[in-house]
Structures are given as C-alpha cells and as structure tokens.
C-alpha cells in the first residue's frame, strides 16, 4: 500500500540544518498495524506527516497503492487525505463550541462523494459515544474526545489510519480503551500507522519500526502483538469527486453554518466589524436620499417656473464706466410683444412683465410685497392657475382693471384665514379687488415664491408705476428643439423694430438655467455619496483587520481542515463567506439606520428626502463588494497555510 525510498527532510533552524529524515526507506502492506517508535526529535512525527501527505519531503520516492504522490498538486493531496486517510492527533484537534456529531461529520464537507451525514452517527455509535452526540467538546472527557477524533477519522471509510501519540494526553485507563478501539479497527481490515514513544503502546502493533536521528534503526515484527482475528478488508476506493449539484449546495450551506458559528463565537468583534459597514451604508443611503430630495425640490420649483421659456431683456449699458439700468437706451413696448406673437414661428404665448415692491393694506394691516404686472398668458406659462377664484382676462388688461391675484403669503398675513375673493385691498393707496388666490409654490433660497401679487400689465404700467414701457417679455416656445431658432428670430425681429445694433437686447433661456441647476444637483449628490463611501471603505478595512486576527487565532483549525481534505478554495471560501456575512448584516442594519436618519431629517429638519431603489441597491451591493475585496487577503492568507505548519502553530 505504501512504499517510500530515500526520504529526506531537512529543517533550517537559524544557521543550523537539522536532518529530520535522512534516507528513510520502508514499505507498508495493506492491512498492517505498524508502530513507529522513537524518542522526541527522532523524526518519527515528521515521517508520519509525510506519509499522511501533511508535509512534503525534500527528496525521495513516495508511492501509495502504486501511485507516485511526490509531484501531486495541493488539491490532489487534499483529495487523497480526505478519501483514503484518517488522522488521530495527540491534541485531539476538535473544533471548539461544536458538538461531537458536527466534529465527526467535518470530513464529509470536503468529501464531494455524495455521502450522507448519517454515517457520522454510525461512527459515534461504533466508538461507543452514541449517547454523547449532541455534547460539545468541552463537555467530554479526554478519552471521549479522542474517541470523537477516531470516529472522525473513520467517517469517510478510509483505508489507512494515522495515529500520532493517540494516548499521549490520556490516563492509563482511557489509553487502554483507545488502544482497544485501534485494535478493533485493525481487525476490520484498516491499515494503521501509529507513532509513539511508549513501548507499551507500540506492543499493540504487529510490526514495530524504531527510528533515531532521522534513520531507521530496526524494522521487525512484534512477537508480543496480541492475536486479533480479521473480520474484513479495507480497500482504497477508486471514486471520483462529484461535480456541482445538490451535494455542492449542501456543502455551501454547511460552510455558511460554520461561518455563522465562528462569527457567533466572537459576538463583540463581529458586531464592531458590522458597525463599520453599517455606518458606511447608512451614510450613503441618507446622503444620497437628502441629495436626491434637494435635487427633486429644486427641479419641482424650476418646473413651476414653466417649460420652454425665453426671457427677452433690454441689454444693460455702461457710460463712462457707470452701469446704467436696463432699458436706459432701448425699451420694450407692448407692441413688441404683439409683433413677437404674430411674426415669430413656434411662439405659443407671450407675456409682458413689469414688477416692483408695493405696500398692501387691508383695514389696519400692512404688508410689503412684490407686485408683478403680466398678461393673461402668464397663467398657463408659469402654471399659476388660482386655487380659488380666477386669473384676469384680456378685457381687464385692455381696460386697465383694478383687480389683483394674490399669493398665499399676503392672504395669510392680511385676511386672517378669511376668503379674500371679492374683497378690497389697497395697493399703494389705490383700491383693488381680489379675484383669485394662487397655489402654494414654496420658497427657493432666500425668496418666498408665495409672497407675490399679480395685476394686469397695463394696470401696473399706468396706475402703479407710471411707465409706458415694460421690463421684459416672457415667451413660451412650442418644442424644446425649436428654442434656438426662435431665439435668433426674436432677437432679429426686435433689433429690426428698434433699428439698433446687435447686442442691444438679450435673451435668457430658462431651460439652460434649469439644466445647470439639475447638473449642480447631480454633482452634489455624487459628491455626498463619494464622501459617504469613504465610511464604507473604512468599514472594509475593519473587516480585513478582524479577519486577519481571526486567521491568526484559527490557524490550527485551518490546519485541521486541510488535514481532513479541505482544499485552498474551501478555506478561502469559508473566510470569504464570513466576510460577506458581516457585510450582509452590516448592510441590512445600514439600510434601516439610513432610512431612519432620512426620516428624522425630513420630519424634524424640514428637509426633502427622496429614497430610491437604485441608491439602496448601490449601497448594499457596495457593501458586498467591500466584504469580498477586503476579505480576499485574509482568506488567501488562510488558504495558503501549509497543513503541518498550521497544526503546529501555537
């Protein structure tokens, strides 16, 4: 079954080379019970580790069942260890905080052969622990823990059992019970290779190999070996690992459960790791929601100003370095507005506009307010449809009617909640009739859009401000793509009518202003989310640090898993799963906290908050990516550990 020739293994201890094995050659037949005996430092444990594929020799030939394993890859070695070998360690090497049954079933996770976990129950029954299956390892005696280790070594039906000082940590009675179990296993046809320094233990074997200073001193049958009738024969199974399927899913679920158990064992550390992700996710969600809310509020306010609007102004002029008011050298008249409406294509509506600050008075109450003279088209252009009453008509514009439409702020300040429709109000000491109340528009920046009053433009020109010209025209174009052409035609028409040079008048495109505001909102949202994402990165660094500590603490566990057949990918996957679990719970808590912060900001801070699925998915996905990215290094570090070095780690 096993043949080795000229095995050599040298360790470098500082500047000194220690030859642990120096040209060892031996064979082990199928079904033999072999004891390797020697003093401490003789090389017996190194020989067993190499025979058990936990370590590799520096030189020599090593065959198992005729297969040369010296050039096997790490995955092939892991498969051999899992499929045909079982290990019983002196230190038991049982997982803490897990039951006896879970410890025994550990090799099945990496078997990939479709075996059911029921066999773990059978193996515990076999070693006499059927009534202790659910007990944790700290609830078992030393002898019982070693029996669990033996049951674990048998769960995959191996052909060879390697036992390293199996009685070294046991009392004499427990030691005798364990050796009796080993003899019974040999009787079942298993090949057993036992390493010990105790000659009494070695006398249970059929053959004793003595080793000293890395060389075999003697290799002879044991005349004192007890007679044990054979009841079976253990062959090496020629099985092929199964591909992806139900077993792979069950294996993944088992890794998830083990990861949860490991994280649960260090609750405070896990919570602190998740806290970093939670802060990052909640910060991203809350800041993006606030940014989106602010952007939406600005867009809503801008949309209330109207769509596809152009604003025609007389250009400001300067004389002698002194800036003059608009309209000083050229002024717009009502006739200009009629010409634009009649002669320029794609013009939907035109409103002349003139405004100024006035004093409103109702009874003994006064209110300073900005009043604007406009045409009836202004109602549809700016979405100023009164919530009660009506807007003024063309007839009222032509007759310079003394009527007005008020915003909700002067109504609230002057009428004490009473219906103002039909009531009289003095504007600059002249009496007007209130015919409508505008819908609430809100405020933007330092301006209250509801603190306004509107009168017919002719009334404002002649009766309020004593002017024969208007300040500007607001012009609505049919389609957005027609605005550039309309803008050119309007300027050309006005310059031709006034017989002035180019640049005397200017047109402002309200859509461009809206786009600029919208772009600014997007940039602010991106900036806020970028700043908040820094918290996620910091949380990821916290996960990485915690996982590195976990790798160090669990080095012997990693060595055990590799000895039982875990490949690099298995170890790496387990630590990645742990990092992802931390990120997942941190992300879930972050979503809840972010939503709570946004709610508080909206409820008590008066801010507009807008949550979107995209921002939640982005934050949650980013947290998962953080878990993977910052979990890879610790996972790779764990996966690259040499099995025997990890098992020896203190």
pLDDT of residue 251 exceeding 70: no
Half-sphere exposure (Cβ direction) of 75: Cα atoms closer than 13 Å: 5
pLDDT of residue 55 exceeding 70: yes
pLDDT the model gives residue 512: 58
Q: What is the dihedral of CA 203, 209, 212, 218, to 10 degrees?
A: 110
Closest listed residue to residue 538, CA positions, set 336, 283, 276, 187: 276
Report the SS3 class of residue 25: strand
pLDDT the model gives residue 319: 46
Closest listed residue to residue 182, CA positions, set 132, 143, 134, 217: 143
Judge contact between 231 and 57, C-beta under 8 A.
no
Give 650 or 331, the one with higher predicted confidence.
331
Every domain range in the chain assigned CATH 3.40.50.300: 2-242
User: pLDDT (tens digit, 9 = 90+) per residue, 500-545?
Assistant: 888 789 888 866 555 655 666 667 667 766 776 777 777 778 778 8
pLDDT the model gives residue 329: 54
pLDDT the model gives residue 238: 45
Among 169-178, 186-195, 478-487, 619-628, name the one with the lowest average pLDDT: 619-628
Give 3-state DSSP helix, strand, coil % of the chain, rounded to 5: 50, 20, 30
pLDDT the model gives residue 128: 87
Give 167 or 391, the one with higher predicted confidence.
391
pLDDT of residue 278 exceeding 70: yes
pLDDT the model gives residue 240: 42
User: pLDDT (tens digit, 9 = 90+) per residue, 309-350?
Assistant: 888 988 765 444 444 444 445 789 999 999 999 999 989 999
Q: Which two tokens stand for residue 478?
A: 């049919």
Judge contact between 46 and 4, C-beta under 8 A.
no
**Class level of CATH domain 2-242:** alpha beta
Q: Classify residue 480 by its DSSP letter.
A: G
Most confident range (mean pLDDT) of 155-169, 270-284, 452-466, 473-487 is: 452-466
Q: Which residues contact 133 (CB under 8 A, 6 or more apart)?
A: 99, 100, 101, 121, 124
Judge contact between 168 and 141, C-beta under 8 A.
no
pLDDT the model gives residue 36: 92
pLDDT the model gives residue 76: 87
Burial letters for 165-191: b for 16+ Cβ neighbours within 10 Å, e otherwise? Answer: bbbbbbeeebbbbbbebbbebbeeebb
Burial letters for 628-650: b for 16+ Cβ neighbours within 10 Å, e otherwise? Answer: eebbbebbebbbebebbebbeee
Q: Which two tokens stand for residue 620?
A: 């949650």
pLDDT the model gives residue 107: 87
Among 105-119, 250-264, 293-307, 352-366, name the one with the lowest average pLDDT: 293-307
pLDDT the model gives residue 109: 82
User: pLDDT (tens digit, 9 = 90+) per residue, 583-609?
Assistant: 888 888 888 888 888 888 877 877 778
Closest listed residue to residue 208, CA positions, set 229, 224, 189, 190: 224
Give 88 or 544, the one with higher predicted confidence.
88
pLDDT of residue 361 exceeding 90: yes
Residue 415: pLDDT band by 50, 70, 90 thresholds? Answer: very high
Measured between alpha carbons, how far is 562 from 256 in angstroms, rounded to an integer? 18
pLDDT the model gives residue 458: 94
Among 15-19, 163-167, 418-422, name the one with the lowest average pLDDT: 15-19
Closest listed residue to residue 408, CA positions, set 375, 441, 368, 456: 441
Mean local confidence (pLDDT), 130-151: 88
Average pLDDT, the chain: 83
Residue 249: pLDDT band by 50, 70, 90 thresholds? Answer: low
Give 141 or 613, the one with higher predicted confidence.
141
Q: Which two tokens stand for residue 459?
A: 């009334």
Q: pTM, whole model, 2 decimals?
A: 0.62
User: pLDDT (tens digit, 9 = 90+) per residue, 385-397?
Assistant: 999 999 999 999 9
pLDDT of residue 300 exceeding 70: no
pLDDT the model gives residue 242: 44
pLDDT of residue 404 exceeding 80: yes
pLDDT the model gives residue 262: 76
pLDDT the model gives residue 113: 56
């Amino acid at each position: 079954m096993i043949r080795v020739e000229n095995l050599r293994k040298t360790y470098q201890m500082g500047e000194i080379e220690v030859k642990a094995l120096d040209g060892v050659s031996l064979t082990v037949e199928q079904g033999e019970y072999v004891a390797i005996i020697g003093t401490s430092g003789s090389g017996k444990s190194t020989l067993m580790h190499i025979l058990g594929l936990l370590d590799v020799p520096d030189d020599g030939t090593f065959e198992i069942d005729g297969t040369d394993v010296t050039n096997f890859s790490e995955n092939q070695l892991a498969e051999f260890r899992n499929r045909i070998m079982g290990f019983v360690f002196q230190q038991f090497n049982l997982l803490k905080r897990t039951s006896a049954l879970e410890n025994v079933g550990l090799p099945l996770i990496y078997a990939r052969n479709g075996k059911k976990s029921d066999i773990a129950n059978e193996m515990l029954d076999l070693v006499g622990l059927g009534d202790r299956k659910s007990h944790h390892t700290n609830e078992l005696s030393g002898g019982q823990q070693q029996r669990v280790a033996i049951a674990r070594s048998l769960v995959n039906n191996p052909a060879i059992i390697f036992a390293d000082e199996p009685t070294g940590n046991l009392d004499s009675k427990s030691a005798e019970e364990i050796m009796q179990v080993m003899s019974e296993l040999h009787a079942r046809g298993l090949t057993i290779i036992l390493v010990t320094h105790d000659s009494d233990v070695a006398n249970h074997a059929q053959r004793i190999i003595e080793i000293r200073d890395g060389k075999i001193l003697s290799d002879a049958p044991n005349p004192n070996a007890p007679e044990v009738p054979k009841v079976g024969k253990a062959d090496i199974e020629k099985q092929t690992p199964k591909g992806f399927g139900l077993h792979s899913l069950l294996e993944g679920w088992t890794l998830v459960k083990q990861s949860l158990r490991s994280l649960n064992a260090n609750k405070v550390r896990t919570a602190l790791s998740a806290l970093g992700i939670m802060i990052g996710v909640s910060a991203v969600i809350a800041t993006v929601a606030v940014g989106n809310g602010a952007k939406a509020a600005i867009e809503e306010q801008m949309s209330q100003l109207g769509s596809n609007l152009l604003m025609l102004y007389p250009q400001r002029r300067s004389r002698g370095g002194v800036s003059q008011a608009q309209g000083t050298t050229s002024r717009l008249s009502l006739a200009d507005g009629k010409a634009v409406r009649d002669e320029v294509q794609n013009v939907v509506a035109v409103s002349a506009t003139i405004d100024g600050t006035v004093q409103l008075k109702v009874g003994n109450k006064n209110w300073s307010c900005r009043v604007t003279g406009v045409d009836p088209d202004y109602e549809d252009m700016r979405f100023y449809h009164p919530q009660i009453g009506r807007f003024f008509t063309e007839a009222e514009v032509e007759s310079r009617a003394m009527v007005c439409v008020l915003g909700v702020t002067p109504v609230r300040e002057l009428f004490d909640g009473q219906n103002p429709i039909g009531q009289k109000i003095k504007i600059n000491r002249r009496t007007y009739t209130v015919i409508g109340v505008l819908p609430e528009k809100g405020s933007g920046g330092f301006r209250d859009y509801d603190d306004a009053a509107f009168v017919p433009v002719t009334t404002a020109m002649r009766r309020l401000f004593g002017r024969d010209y208007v300040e500007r025209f607001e012009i609505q174009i049919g389609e957005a793509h027609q605005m550039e052409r309309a803008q050119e035609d309007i300027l050309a028409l006005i310059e031709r009518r006034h017989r002035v040079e180019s640049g005397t008048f200017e047109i402002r495109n309200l859509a461009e202003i809206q786009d600029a505001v919208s772009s600014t909102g997007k940039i602010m949202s991106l900036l806020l989310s970028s700043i908040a994402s820094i918290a996620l990165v910091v949380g990821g660094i916290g996960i990485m640090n915690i996982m590195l500590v976990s790798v160090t603490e669990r080095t012997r566990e990693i060595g055990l898993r590799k000895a039982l057949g875990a490949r690099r990918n298995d170890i790496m996957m387990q630590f990645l799963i742990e990092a992802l679990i931390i990120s997942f719970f941190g992300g879930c808590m972050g979503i809840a906290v972010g939503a709570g912060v946004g709610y508080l900001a909206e409820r008590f801070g008066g801010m507009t908050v807008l949550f979107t699925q995209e921002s939640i998915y982005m934050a949650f996905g980013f947290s998962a990516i953080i878990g993977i990215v910052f979990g890879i290094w610790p996972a790779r570090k764990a996966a690259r550990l040499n099995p025997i070095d990890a098992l020896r780690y203190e």
